Amino acid sequence: MNSFPTTPKERFLRMISRGWSFSFFLLRFMPSALFAGVRIRGLGDEECMVSVPYSWFTRNPFRSTYFACLAMAGEISTGILAMLHVRDTDRAVSMLVTAMESKFHKKARGVTRFICKDGRLLQAAVQYAVNRGQPQTCKAYTVGIDASGDCVAEFWITWSFKQKQH
């Protein structure tokens, strides 16, 4: 069996799973996420886990992770899943964040891991946009957990998908 990725989705998964390759991706498209230390910790069709550390770059004056860094990691945990499913289509699809809701429960003082398990929901929205040729939105949920397992923050990121016209 050939282990070389042949589909755009397989190539994307391979790129994301390599540390240096993902770092280059962030440097090119989201340098602030690279400098903040955002990392992919797990990725599959249904779930994505992303981490962001508490560091000199991500901290605020209140000795916790700045809310914008938490939001960035939360958005990436949903966006990487969305990109994975966009790459699984044979058509060009644009994606855009159109809304964000959040709740903060406690200070983030260490590594925060964001887990999004809405891969199938995002996949269905992408397929709808492609199959019907109409824009589709999807609200994905991600939760930020600290090292002790406590919920630090929750985000609901609304993505819009639209098939590009040639």
Q: Which domains does the chain have, with CATH numbers?
A: 8-163 (3.10.129.10)
pLDDT one-digit tens code per residue, 75-98: 999 999 999 999 988 889 999 999
Per-residue pLDDT at 60 exceeds 50: yes
Number of Cβ within 10 Å of residue 4's Cβ equals 7
Q: What is the pTM of this model?
A: 0.91
pLDDT one-digit tens code per residue, 19-58: 788 888 889 999 999 999 999 999 989 999 999 999 999 9
- Place 2 in a pLDDT band, splitting at 50, 70 and 90: low
**Rounded (10°) CA dihedral 92, 80, 102, 145:** 170
Beta bridge partners of 153: 104, 144
For 99, half-sphere exposure in the C-beta direction (CA atoms, 13 angstrom radius) is 8
3-state secondary structure of 102: strand
Per-residue pLDDT at 5 exceeds 70: no
Is 40:81 a contact under the CB 8 Å cutoff? no
Number of Cβ within 10 Å of residue 25's Cβ equals 18
